[in-house]
Amino acid sequence: MSIFWISIGMGIAVAAILALSSVAFTLEYAVSRVVNLAHGEVLTIGAYAAYVGEMTFHLNLYVCALVATIFGAVTGMALNFFLIERFRGQKALSTLIATLGASLILQNILLIAFGGASVSYSFNQGNLLHVGPFLWTTLTIRVIISAVVVAVLIYVFLQRTKIGKALRAVAQNRELAQVSGIPARSVVMRTWATAGAVSGFAGFLYGETIGTITPSIGNGFLLLSITAAVGGGLGRPYPTLGGALLLGLVMSIAGTYWSSSYQLVVAFGFLVLMLLIKPNGLFVRGKAQTVRA
Amino acid sequence: MLQYWTAILSEAAIFAILAMGIDMIWGWAGDFDLSAYAYFALGVYMTIVLTIGKAHSPVTYVFGWHLYYPLAVALSVVVVVAFAAVIGAIALRSLREVYFSITTLGAVWAIYYWVENFTPLFNGYNGVYGLFDPLGSGLSYNTYHYLFFAACLIILLGVYLLVSRISTSPFGRMVRAVRDDESAASVYGRNVFWAKYRTYLFGAGLAGFSGSLFAAYIGAFNPLDWKPTEIFVLYAAILVGGRGNPKGVILGSFIVYVGFVELTRYIPSPASRPELGPALRQILIGLLIILMLKFRPTGLIPERLGGDGTEGRRSWRTLFTKSPQRDAEPDVVIGALPASGVEAS
Amino acid sequence: MTALLEIEGITKTFGGVTAVSQCSMSIREGTVVGLIGPNGAGKSSVIDLVSGFERPNEGSIRFDGREIVGKRPDQISRMGLIRTFQTPREWRDLSVIDNVRVGRSDLERDSLWRAVTTGRKLRRLEDRETDELRDLMTHYRLDTVRNQRAVGLSGGQKRLLEFARIAAARPRLTILDEPMGGVNPVLGERIGEAIRELKRNGSTVVVVEHNLPFIERTCDEVVVMDLGTVIAQGPFAELRDNKRVVDAYLGNDDE
């Protein structure tokens, strides 16, 4: 049982949560061409919603997860309705700055509502288990399984459902989709709801396994999600998934041999490396183009 | 009361200089740079560690020199520009618009967490402190602050004259041409990267310089009280005053900074909830950014339009008229010219 | 007369599609040359290759006797070559007259150091030029809009602004990519005149255009491209009966 394998095991759990968050981020970009700097706050809202559910209303684990998902979906829809749609037709950069404003607003509302001190859930972590070379708790395993299930659901949603096909059409070209009879506005809204739901759930998983929640955990999550999405291929769900898994592993290995406080530094190094070597994304085939919006 | 106002206005003057630096990069060159905070903070840290002398355990930081303050300022600015040269070379080479912003956002948080955790650099999250009266004037506390305020105003005026001279120069015009259309600018012989890079370094240098001034004012700096989000107020200030217009940026900095500090005074901030005031402030900043972008993206005093001298003054009149939607993509009107030529317009 | 621009055997492929193949042509100094050919013949790709926006896979391009393959667009431009794009590319938030001023200015004047040290002298220099630029504006029918933001111009005015900007920059070679695109007939006449003026002022001109009567009126010589290579070069009248040219335009079923 080496430290290496333990940390890889932990890395898989981190990567699973990160994967959900980054896929949500990339879906938002795909349909609205928006780099949503308020993405981290959607996760935070999900995490806090579950916290309130557990602490105040003594709901069980599964109901809490549902509450987090619903709150995430509502936040995603609200962001799209009140912000993104209002800035449609403007430069991508204007919308990015607007989402920065939204991030400030949401994060500080959370700060006022819950204070700056960190909180955590009190769910049972379960027993330690040896699975192959990994050392996991039953809770970690549940988190990994549920992340995989959600990823499969996203896949089915994108590939098999009508709305998923409409989503891909809108992502390609919104105007063209519109004139082909696809109700683009409602497809975009539903995508934001889906992305928000996935983010809220990811926020819950984060609180359940990895740690304590504060109103500012969104900052780190945003940076990691951006890194995974850009590293894999911004706006493309499956490459983003690959980027997230790779980033999760890189970070956990770096965390083992270096210090975990430098994980974001490592992530940034990874991001810069990706942007310099393959700006279109690691898992996207084709000629690299200069990245211009 | 007088002390209160000198303090607030000194800070506003320092932040106006920082805002002018950010605006060169964002307003003139069109690169929305989120690492500006890092240049400001590095300016503050460097100035402090270069003037307060050796570190005493358990405090640890680099240098620990005892330099003459103006020399420390100069050296700090050099370090900041050198640092910006690295970030700029990475971020500006081939990345534009949102990709540029993402990179600088990553950079600022990575640097922030590094400084917070790596104590040998600037003493980690406890920060560095102990700078007061760097010129050794020996004046009383109040007199010192009045003089400091006067000095800030004079420096602000000097920086304004310099920046507005560059802004209206062929260089300022060329940088804006590069912002509006890079390919067209390169067709007319302009090296796009070099134009953006020079502007970036100059703006970062100004940010570092304002940090040096701030060091003399506040005397201490740490990552907990000064998060990167703290200077988002300046993005709001630039949007309010007028992107790309140095006069507007100064106006915006004073309005927004003084306005917010004043406002926070009237918000009850009980000892049990110390975060309430600052949090409300940040919410208002976020709202201001969104509303300005949506309804008046050119700000109170829009960017100066270089005419031929016959167009008359327009900057104040436009304060009260509807602003053009600068960032909206225009409809392409081809062949919309009337048959008689352009006289119709 | 000597060749100002000499293209020899350039080839460019984009992901397996050959846009330009073994293309050679030479443009003599002081002429107005029409570059014509059916859609997809590779005309625009040739412009991108010559102006440095793309790099050929093989071949050589010499401007004024110097090899320019591998140079950046701004470096090539400083040697005296200016191109346009299919849609007018104005600097939208600059005033119309400032658009022309950027055309007129040069690297030395753009220096950041000079802006800091000799700002007032620069200002006086530019003020002296303003009268001249105002005349230029009037000449291109832009006098009423000269102090407005360029983004507000109509499509036709943007075309004229492009010519005013080129006139101010005084290039040795001007390459125009479909200058008549979306332009009404009256303005078309003005644009033909503008091209002849460029020639009178000493610029060699290459025009890519689909409007053949316009090419016949304006150009001294025509280069015909098809399938990425030059199939004919000569005066317009001679090419009218050239079988390959006619086939290229009408579609060739023999092959």
Q: Rounded CA gap, C210 and C213, in Å? A: 9
Give the rounded percent of residues in chain B with a pLDDT score beyond 90: 49
Pairwise pLDDT comparison (A108 vs B272), residue with the higher score: A108
Q: With bands split at pLDDT 50, 70 and 90, how would you rate the model's confidence at B342?
A: very low
Domains and CATH numbers, chain C: 3-90+169-250 (3.40.50.300), 91-152 (no CATH)
B3-7 contact pairs (CB < 8 A, 24+) = B3/B142, B3/B145, B6/B145, B6/B146, B6/B149, B7/B145
Is the CB of B305 inside 8 Å of chain C's CB atoms? Answer: yes
Nearest alpha carbon to residue B16 among B246, B283, B243: B246
Q: How far apart are CA C135 and CA C144, in angstroms?
A: 12
Q: What is the mean pLDDT of residues B6-30?
A: 94
Provide, as residue numbers in chain A, all residues whose Cβ is less than 8 Å from the Cβ of B329: 89-91
What lies within 8 Å, CB to CB, of C168 at 6+ separation is C100, C101, C103, C104, C133, C136
Whether A225 contacts A25, CB under 8 Å: yes
Domains, in order of start, for chain B? 2-295 (1.10.3470)
Tell me, yes or no, if B282 comes closer than 8 A to chain A by beta carbon.
yes
Interatomic CA distance for residues A31 and A234, integer angstroms: 11
Reading the block at residue A246, the tokens are: 């790779």
Whether C154 contacts chain B with CB within 8 A: yes
Residue A31: CA count within 13 A, CB half-sphere: 32
Which among A21, A19, A44, A3 is positioned nearest to A252, based on CA atoms?
A3
Mean pLDDT in order along chain A per 10 residues (293 residues): 74 86 93 92 95 88 92 96 91 91 95 88 76 78 87 88 87 86 89 94 87 86 90 87 87 74 80 78 54 35
User: Which residue on chain B is closest to C98 by alpha carbon?
Assistant: B306
Pairing of strands C58-63, C3-14: antiparallel
Q: Which residues contact B211 (CB under 8 A, 6 or more apart)?
A: B18, B39, B40, B41, B42, B43, B44, B45, B46, B47, B76, B80
Beta bridge partners of A90: B328
How is A193-237 classified by DSSP, letter by letter?
HHHHHHHHHHHHHHHHHT--B-TTHHHHHHHHHHHHHHHH-TT-H
Window B:126-185, CB contacts with C under 8 Å: 162, 165-166, 168-174, 176-177, 179-181, 183-185
**Which pTM was predicted?**
0.90
Partners of C36 in the β-ladder = C224
Paired residues of C223 in beta bridges: C35, C233
Q: How many CB atoms lie within 10 A of CB C198?
A: 20
Tokens of C225: 């491209």
User: In whole angstroms, how large is the CA radius of gyration of chain B?
Assistant: 22
What's the rounded Cα separation, in Å, for the pair C52 and B140? 65
CA dihedral sign of residues B238, B241, B242, B248 = negative
| Nearest alpha-carbon partner for B159 in B19, B45, B257 | B19
CB contact under 8 A, A98 and B328: no
Average pLDDT of the residues in B205-213: 96
The mean pLDDT of chain A is 85
Q: How much is the mean pLDDT over chain B?
A: 85
Token pair recorded at residue A237? 């769900």
Give dist(CA B127, CA A9) in Å, integer.
36
Q: Are B342 and C145 in contact (CB < 8 Å)?
A: yes
Please give the Cα distance from A282 to C26 (Å, whole number): 43
Give the chains touching B; criterion: ≥3 Cβ pairs < 8 Å: A, C
Q: What are phi and psi for residue A90, nearest 5 degrees? A: -95, 170
Amino acid at B122: F
Separation of alpha carbons B173 and C106, rounded Å? 12
Answer yes or no: do B180 and C95 touch at CB < 8 A. no
Indicate the helix (H) or strand (E) that contains C3.
strand C3-14
Measured from the Cβ of residue C125, the count of other Cβ atoms closer than 10 Å reads: 13
Determine the pLDDT at residue A260.
64
Q: How far apart are CA C239 and CA C234, in angstroms?
A: 7
- How, if at all, do strands C81-83 and C173-177 pair? parallel
Nearest CB neighbour to C105, from listed B170, B179, B186: B170
pLDDT computed for residue B189 by the predictor: 93
CB pairs under 8 A between B and C: 169
Average pLDDT over residues B128-136: 79
Distance of CA A232 to the CA centre of its chain: 14
Low-confidence stretches of chain C (pLDDT beneath 70): 1, 250-255
Quick one: pLDDT at residue B242? 93
> How do residues B216-230 score in pLDDT, each as one tens digit?
988 889 888 888 888
Is the preceding omega at residue A215 within 30 degrees of 0, hence cis?
no
Q: What is the pLDDT of residues A216-227, one digit of tens each?
A: 888 888 989 999
User: Sign of the C-alpha dihedral, residues B306, B312, B314, B320?
Assistant: negative
- What is the model's pLDDT at position B319? 54
Dig out the tokens for B83 from the structure.
């640092």
Q: What is the pLDDT of residue B50?
A: 92
DSSP summary character for residue C27: E
Confidence of residue B312 (pLDDT cuts 50, 70, 90): low
Distance of CA C226 to the CA centre of its chain: 20
pLDDT at A84: 93
Tens of pLDDT, residues B318-329 = 555 555 444 444
What does the pLDDT look like over A164-184, one tens digit per residue? 888 888 888 888 888 888 888
For C9, the token pair is 């055997």
Nearest CB among B109, B276, B280 relative to A223 is that of B109
- Give per-residue pLDDT as tens, B153-196: 999 999 999 999 999 999 999 999 999 999 999 999 999 999 99
- Give the number of other Cβ atoms within 10 Å of residue B120's Cβ: 10
ipTM value for the complex: 0.91
Shortest distance between the Cα of B141 and any Cα of chain A, in A, equals: 34
Contact yes or no for A97 and B276 at CB 8 A? no
Per-residue pLDDT, C60: 94
Q: Phi and psi dihedrals of C230, rounded to 5?
A: -80, 125
* B12-24 mean pLDDT: 96
Q: Is B227 on the interface with C (CB under 8 A)?
A: no
For residues B325 and A90, give the distance between their C-alpha atoms in angstroms, rounded to a whole number.
9
Q: Which amino acid, residue B39?
A: Y
What's the pLDDT tens digit per position in A81-105?
A: 999 999 988 888 899 999 999 999 9
* 3-class state of residue B190 by DSSP: coil
Q: Tell me: pLDDT of B80 over 90.
A: yes
- Give residue for tokens 């003026």: C197
Residue of A nearest to B239 (CA): A97
Chain B residues touching A292 at Cβ < 8 A: 96-97, 99
For chain A, domains (ranges, CATH) are 3-277 (1.10.3470)
Q: Give the tens place of pLDDT for each residue, B273-306.
A: 777 888 888 899 999 999 999 999 999 999 888 8
C-alpha R_g of chain C = 19
pLDDT tier at B316, thresholds 50, 70, 90? low
Look at residues B31, B49, B7 and name the one whose alpha carbon lies nearest to residue B211.
B49
What span, in angstroms and rounded, lies between the C-alpha atoms of B62 and B118?
11
pLDDT score, position B318: 53
Q: 3-class secondary structure for C175-237?
A: EEECCCCCCCHHHHHHHHHHHHHHHHCCCEEEEECCCHHHHHHHCCEEEEEECCEEEEEECHH
Segments of B94-253 assigned E as strands: 128-129, 220-221
Torsion of CA B300, B304, B308, B312, to 10 degrees: 20
- Verify whether the Cβ–Cβ distance B102 to A230 is below 8 Å: yes
Closest CA to A270 of A217, A222, A228: A228
